[in-house]
Amino acid sequence: MDPVTLTTDRLVLRVVGPHDTDAVYEAAQDSDIQRWTTIPSPYLREHAAGFTDQMVPDGWADGSMFTFGVFLPSGELVGMLGITMRSLGVGEVGFWATKEHRGRGYISEATVAASRWAFTDLSVDRVEWRAEVGNAGSRAVAERAGFVIEGTLRSAINNKGVRRDCWVGSLLPSDLGLPSTAPYLPAPDRRSGG
């Protein structure tokens, strides 16, 4: 698939390339990004170059991962967001925000835009979010974007060689007022006797 550019009221989501390597490298020096994401630590310039020069274009080319740099209209990097295809009709969103732009709702806004695009252009029927238990910032982003937190999965994330528990949540097309590609029949709510 050819890369696309998405826009919101405050942001431009576009594919990153070699011209963005330095910005990605500098942002990823943040200890919180290295702690809570699965990027290498320490994060070297060669990691950033491999990401922008190969990993991102390869993911778009083979349809396995759709990565967007999240930018202000001025061109300043706010964060990174990717949707990785996990199975037929299911994508998993992952993201990080630069330290100076956290807490402004940018990544939640970008997550909604990218999820809407995945629902309408990729025929995805479920976008999952996962984060290591304790990553309150990521959970806040997901909840602001409308994800329903579904529970905790034991030993479901491998972060730098250590298995960790994670929270999992989902966003469905209906959460954004969009149709699904397949009918969805939710389980009866046993608590209400239904």
* Digit-coded pLDDT (tens) for 91-111: 999 999 999 999 999 999 999
pLDDT class of 38 with cuts at 50, 70, 90:
very high
Alpha helices by DSSP H, 51-188? 56-62, 106-121, 136-144
pLDDT at res. 138: 98
pLDDT at 61 over 60: yes
Residue 177's pLDDT band (cuts 50, 70, 90) = very high
Q: Calculate the average pLDDT of the chain.
A: 96
Arithmetic mean of pLDDT, 68-87: 97
- Return the CATH number of the domain spanning residue range 6-179: 3.40.630.30
pLDDT score, position 1: 86
pLDDT of residue 194: 53
Per domain, the residue ranges of the chain are 6-179
Would you state the pLDDT for residue 192? 63
With 60 as the cut, is the pLDDT of residue 191 above it? yes
Which distant-in-sequence residues (6+ apart) come within 8 Å of 5 by Cβ?
12, 13, 14, 15
